[in-house]
């Protein structure tokens, strides 16, 4: 039996990243994590008790553009139903006092049916992947999501802003470091100006890695390029250093002089937290990434002027804006136990 079971969406690494940050402030509380894919690997490498039970449907991306979103939507619905079956078994086995979900709605449905207190961590209140007939189906899904959220005892939104009732905006949730930037630069052998190209926990950002490598090959950028290809992308014979999967990507971001990344919320928040300049390119048609990129002043088309952007940003002054969302979120969760 656990005090709480934490269901972390395995679609990318961003959910698990912020859930690790919260877990670091939940000392003395027995907890089980449920996730899958690269997210499970991240949780385990942080020493958390986690089960690898979820297998999310992959996005299909060609040349940086999301393809066949309606097909993905139907795959997600099948995945969602499978997750409900898994959640039943986990909750019956662990008998938690509290279920915490980071955008895993299946577990919330099961917990709420069993009258178990629920907490959701989310920054998405509706989905906008499909168009045409698909958008009608998606709107119904979004309505169902909102109903589930409304039934939660606590809604944690990792953004700055006004809290209202049980909906609490705690600010961005990021992992902190225990070493100085100089120590981390030495740790990762960043001896010169260093640009880090990162694409998160899936292979959908291959186009951005390829474009960044192309830019560095043909230009005279006076900096080292370091690639973080993540747990899902296998890259061979890349003429630049590739760290592959990095457990502590936030340390690499802190140590870097510039980050080139997909527009995932966690990477953007870590970049802002540590003051590392960033260029954030979304997958075209991925509404969440496009929204995140727009807030930072970027769009998919910026991939075609990447060289100019790197040259502009490489010497930009650091501007750290520390956040305390992880600690605040953990305190709110503790109050629900």
Distance between CA atoms of 280 and 294, rounded to whole angstroms? Answer: 9
Q: Give Dmax over CA atoms of the chain in angstroms.
A: 61
pLDDT band for 239, please (50, 70, 90 cuts). Answer: confident
Q: What is the CA radius of gyration of the chain?
A: 20
Is 245 within 8 Å of 266 (Cβ atoms)? no
Give the DSSP letter string of 266-290: HHHHHHHHHT--EEEEPPBT-HHHH
Cβ neighbors of 62 (< 8 A, separation 6 or more) are: none
What's the whole-number average pLDDT of the chain?
93
Distance between CA atoms of 41 and 298, rounded to whole angstroms? Answer: 30
Distance between CA atoms of 231 and 241, rounded to whole angstroms? Answer: 16
What predicted TM-score, i.e. pTM, was given to this entire model?
A: 0.93
Does the pLDDT value for residue 284 go beyond 60?
yes
User: How many C-beta neighbours within 10 Å does residue 98 have?
Assistant: 22
Is 285 within 8 Å of 65 (Cβ atoms)? yes
Distance between CA atoms of 54 and 21, rounded to whole angstroms? Answer: 21
Closest CA to 261 of 246, 275, 282, 243: 282
Does the pLDDT value for residue 139 go beyond 80?
no
Residue 89: per-residue pLDDT: 98
pLDDT band for 238, please (50, 70, 90 cuts). Answer: confident
Give the containing element (helix H, strand E) for 66.
strand 65-67
Residue 72: per-residue pLDDT: 86
Does the pLDDT value for residue 13 go beyond 60?
yes
Sort strands 194-198 and 50-52 into parallel, antiparallel or unpaired.
unpaired
User: Helix H segments across 24-68?
Assistant: 37-45
Residue 200: per-residue pLDDT: 86
Domains of the chain: 4-174+325-336 (3.40.50.2000), 181-313 (3.40.50.2000)
For residue 72, the 8-state DSSP code is H
Does the pLDDT value for residue 156 go beyond 60?
yes
């Amino acid at each position: 039996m656990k005090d709480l079971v934490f269901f972390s969406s395995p679609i990318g690494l961003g959910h698990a990243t912020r859930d690790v940050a919260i877990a670091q402030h939940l000392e003395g509380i027995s907890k089980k994590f449920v996730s899958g894919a690269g997210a499970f690997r991240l949780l385990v490498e942080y020493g958390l008790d986690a089960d690898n039970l979820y297998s999310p449907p992959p996005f299909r991306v060609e040349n940086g553009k999301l393809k066949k979103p309606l097909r993905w939507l139907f795959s997600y619905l099948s995945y969602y139903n499978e997750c409900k079956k898994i959640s039943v078994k986990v909750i019956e086995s662990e008998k938690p006092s509290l279920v915490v979900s980071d955008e895993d709605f299946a577990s919330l449905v099961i917990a709420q049916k069993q009258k178990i207190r629920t907490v959701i961590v989310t920054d998405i209140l509706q989905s906008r992947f499909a168009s045409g007939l698909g958008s009608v189906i998606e709107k119904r899904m979004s309505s169902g999501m909102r109903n589930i959220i409304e039934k939660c005892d606590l809604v944690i939104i990792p953004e700055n802003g006004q809290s209202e009732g049980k909906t609490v905006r705690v600010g961005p949730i990021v992992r902190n470091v225990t070493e100085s930037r100089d120590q981390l630069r030495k740790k990762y052998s960043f001896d010169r100006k260093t640009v880090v190209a990162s694409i998160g926990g899936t292979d959908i950002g291959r186009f951005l890695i390829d474009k960044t490598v192309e830019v560095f090959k043909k230009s005279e950028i006076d900096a080292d390029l370091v690639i973080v290809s993540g747990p899902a992308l296998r890259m061979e014979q890349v003429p630049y250093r590739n760290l592959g999967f990095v457990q502590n990507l936030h340390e690499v971001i802190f140590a870097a002089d510039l980050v080139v990344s997909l527009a995932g919320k966690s990477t953007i928040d870590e970049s802002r937290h540590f003051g590392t300049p960033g260029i954030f390119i979304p997958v075209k048609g991925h509404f969440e990434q496009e929204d995140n990129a727009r807030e930072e002043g970027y769009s998919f088309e910026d991939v075609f002027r990447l060289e100019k952007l790197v040259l502009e940003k490489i010497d930009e002054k650091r501007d750290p804006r520390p956040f305390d969302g992880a600690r605040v979120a953990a305190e709110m969760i503790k109050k629900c136990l």
